[in-house]
Amino acid sequence: MNRAAAFADRWLTRLIAFFERQTKNAAFGVAAFWLLVSLPLAWVNAPLGKNPRGFQFALFQDIPMLPHFQFGSYGVAGIVVFALAMAALRMDRRAAVCGGIALLALTLAAPLQIAFSNPDILRRLASEFAQQQKVSAFTTNLLPVNQGQAPEIWTILEFDTMWSRFVSAWYFLTIGWYVFTVAALIVFFKGLLLLDGRRWRAVFACILALLIFSAVLVARPFYAHTQLDRAYLAEARGDADEAIALYRATMRLDRWYALGPELYGQIGELHEARGVLDSPEYRIYKGQFFENQGMQPIAIDEFRLAARGGGSLESVGRREAARVAGNFGLTLYRQQAYGAALARWQQAFEEDPFQLQALFYLSRVNFEVAQYREAIAAGEQFCKRASNTYRLADIYSGMGDSYTKLGDHPNARVCYEKSFKLDYIVNARGLGALAGN
């Protein structure tokens, strides 16, 4: 009886050990699977432009207009970290925990990069967010009948504080990032289970490491924010020289402010008070003033003059000129001044190639002035640069209209079919065209 009990106990122990090994392998296998899945999935949801995928979204680099494979991408880095952790696991059980912490650091790095390390990305996404809302209204109100897409969950994004910038950066992250995060958590928590003890110490080490990592990335922006508060106080006291110096220090510390017109406008207003009327910052301020007064052509000229200042001012001036030209084109289009609207949208796209709304509008306004081949060309350019399903559906419908006017019915049908495949729920325009209406 004792021998039978010992035999059963021995085999039960082996069976438990077998299942523990399989569970361990299964957990890391699932993590590896999700890491691989995150590679081809989109990580950033660009409102209009192309969405970079896991193997395209590079660590601490800007996102190009047309994303491409990057060896230094988050997806590739995650696979390398995981492989190293699994190789080291044979020698030290703590390797899985360390690998999990490294993967979680990559997860945290993505929103921090967008918000603080590479604010060029957030500026571009914020611009596309505003453009997308304008294009959506244009599609619903000014194009042939289309019920339009469902309302956006978030209609406003805030960028005034560091926390609001971080939240806005997180808003643009999409499924690939979430899949990667799940894989990182699996590796970390499975690594905790492999430890014989001191698991709370490992959790504390993880939290501390992530906090230190975050602090390193937000230190300069945080200090810049304190300088900005001091600048506002100095301006309120009437100390223009100190305020200007602090505004410039803020822009040096945090590129977010150097990429937008806000602080340049503040400096320009102070320049005006001191009689300095020839600075690029003053031109930015006057451009903002004329835009608010509804004098868009003069505002565009002022922003273009500001762009002559070079450096960051050149890109800011050109982007602002393009933005105002795009909005002015909408006003002209509503007044049925199609030729003038076409000229303004061409100007907007020439000033700023990231003004994708200008391409969208050009496709339609060329149709209105019977330039059907130009309308198709603008639509094709938009399709190469965009990934928004609803906007692509609208563009394909417009291209179908242009092909119809040219008598090219086979290509028109292809475009209408693409439009309906992209948006088959509320696309009354595409469905009506396929039905012959």
- pLDDT at position 142, please? 78
Rounded to an integer, what distance in angstroms lies between the CA atom of residue 357 and that of residue 385?
11
Rounded to an integer, what distance in angstroms lies between the CA atom of residue 207 and that of residue 56?
28
Whether 270 and 400 map to the same domain: the answer is no
- pLDDT at position 153, please? 60
The count of structural domains within the chain is 3
Q: Residue 292 is part of a domain; what is its CATH number?
A: 1.25.40
- pLDDT at position 123, please? 95
Rounded to an integer, what distance in angstroms lies between the CA atom of residue 300 and that of residue 322?
8
Is 208 within the bounds of a domain?
no
Rounded to an integer, what distance in angstroms lies between the CA atom of residue 176 and that of residue 404?
39
pLDDT band at 56 (very low <50, low <70, confident <90, very high): very high
- pLDDT at position 19, please? 46
**Residue 174, pLDDT above cutoff 50:** yes
Q: What is the mean pLDDT of residues 37-51?
A: 94
- pLDDT at position 105, please? 96
Q: Residue 396 is part of a domain; what is its CATH number?
A: 1.25.40.10
Rounded to an integer, what distance in angstroms lies between the CA atom of residue 408 and that of residue 402?
9
Output 164 or 420, whichever has higher pLDDT.
164
The amino acid that residue 32 corresponds to is: A
Radius of gyration of the chain (CA): 27
Is 88 within the bounds of a domain?
yes
- pLDDT at position 427, please? 63
Whether 337 and 377 map to the same domain: the answer is no
**Residue 201, pLDDT above cutoff 90:** no
**Residue 235, pLDDT above cutoff 50:** yes
Query: Nearest CA to 169 among 179, 159, 181?
Result: 159
pLDDT digits over 360-414, tens only?
A: 999 999 999 999 999 999 999 999 999 888 899 899 999 999 999 999 999 999 9
Rounded to an integer, what distance in angstroms lies between the CA atom of residue 321 and that of residue 301?
7
The domain in which residue 416 lies consists of: 367-437
**CA dihedral sign of residues 273, 277, 281, 286:** positive
Whether 350 and 404 map to the same domain: the answer is no
- What pTM, to 2 d.p., does this model score? 0.87
Concatenate the DSSP letters of all residues of 230-260 into one string.
Answer: HHHHHHHHT-HHHHHHHHHHHHHH-HHHHTS
Is 242 within the bounds of a domain?
no
Domain edge (last residue) among 354, 387, 411 = 354
pLDDT cut 90: percent of the chain above it: 70
CB of 110 within 8 A of CB of 60? no
**Which DSSP letter does residue 50 get?**
P
- pLDDT at position 94, please? 86
How long is the chain? Answer: 437
Q: What is the mean pLDDT of residues 116-138?
A: 93
Whether 346 and 379 map to the same domain: the answer is no
Q: What rounded mean pLDDT belongs to the chain?
A: 89
Q: What is the mean pLDDT of residues 137-152?
A: 70
Output 14 or 289, whichever has higher pLDDT.
289
The amino acid that residue 70 corresponds to is: Q
Whether 349 and 384 map to the same domain: the answer is no
Is 215 within the bounds of a domain?
no
Measured in whole angstroms, the distance separating CA 295 from the mean position of its chain's CA atoms is 31
Reduce the secondary structure of 371-382 to three states and give it as a string: CHHHHHHHHHHH
Per mean pLDDT, which of 90-94, 141-145, 162-166 is the most reliable? 162-166
- pLDDT at position 382, please? 95
pLDDT band at 150 (very low <50, low <70, confident <90, very high): low
pLDDT band at 258 (very low <50, low <70, confident <90, very high): very high
CB of 430 within 8 A of CB of 397? yes
Which residues have C-beta within 8 Å of that of residue 51, sequence separation ≥ 6? 42, 43, 44, 45, 67, 174, 387
